[in-house]
Amino acid sequence: MKLEGIHHVTAITGDAPGNVDFYARLLGLRMVKKTVNFDAPDVYHLYYGDELGHPGSVMTFFEFPGAPRGRAGAGMVHRVAWRVRDATALDFWVERLGAAGVAVQRSEDRVRFRDPEGLELELAVSVGVPGEPLAAASRDVPAEHALLGFDGVRAFSARPDASRALFEETLGFTAAGETTWTVAGDSRRSAYAFDAAPAARGMQAAGTVHHVAWACRDEDQPSWRSRTKDAGAHVTAIIDRYYFKSICFREPSGVLFEIATLSPGFTVDEPADSLGEALKLPKQHEHLRERLERTLTPLSNPRPHDVS
């Protein structure tokens, strides 16, 4: 029983239109779902990824309009990294991001930058990574330079040793350094790493990560719940998120983890060729549609699915 790398990463935005423009236009991802936070339906939940929103490609955001900028601290993910094909792709992104006024830091195999609300992002050259590239089609981003799914995430921890047993003995992470792990299944692989926590206390708000989700085979999820519970984690019941089922718990350093199933995916309630175009609501919130369509921030998709 193995986790199949990262399923999705969820963060917070205070500006949904700006968020859509940055991730779906500038970064060339596809907005694969426009829905609401199932636990707080007055809040958008926006999903970006490859053409179908495959696990391993999906960055999601809750919108809290006007939220102040947050700050990553102990127990929070502070950097999200995607893969790209090669150094030529990095050259493309340095030019594209720079032309948009985004400050970049370039090294031989990586480019680091921040989104408009301060979330730290990174592009890393993909070397010997298993699995199909998870790329979106975009008019403005050539296929050879597209983002190819997650490389990994980095979090701040004040006590990384406290998490080691859960990671290695329960979740099957493989140590790749003193505070670095590989999370690898049969088809996908991601990295997870800790950095020393800053002195300032974290503040979860715009530009910060809410949680990181790991992918599992559907049939394995009850066993993952039992294993994490037996290891002492305070794990939720299995929750139906409609596009996947999930369990959630905090690992000992404080980062909120989710384990999410690989299916059914984002085509369960709309066809592939129109993903992300309409507001989709779970059945329990469908009666709120008229009010939500009136009160949620108006959004236009800068990259509808009209590319091949």
Segment 6-12 mean pLDDT = 98
pLDDT tens sequence across 150-171: 999 999 999 999 999 999 999 9
pTM of the model: 0.95
pLDDT tens sequence across 257-284: 999 999 999 999 999 999 999 999 999 9
Residue type, 72: A
Whole-number percent of the chain with pLDDT over 90: 91
Average model confidence (pLDDT) across the chain: 94
List beta partners, residue 35: 45
Is pLDDT at 132 greater than 90 in this prediction?
no
pLDDT band at 127 (very low <50, low <70, confident <90, very high): confident
Per-domain residue ranges for the chain? 6-295
Residue type, 241: R
What does the alpha-carbon distance between residue 297 and residue 289 come to, in Å, rounded to a whole number? 14
User: What is the structure's pLDDT at 308?
Assistant: 47
Which of 3.40.50.300, 3.20.20.70, 3.40.630.30, 3.10.180.10 is the CATH number of 6-295?
Answer: 3.10.180.10
pLDDT tens sequence across 68-124: 999 999 999 999 999 999 999 999 999 999 999 999 999 989 999 999 999 999 999
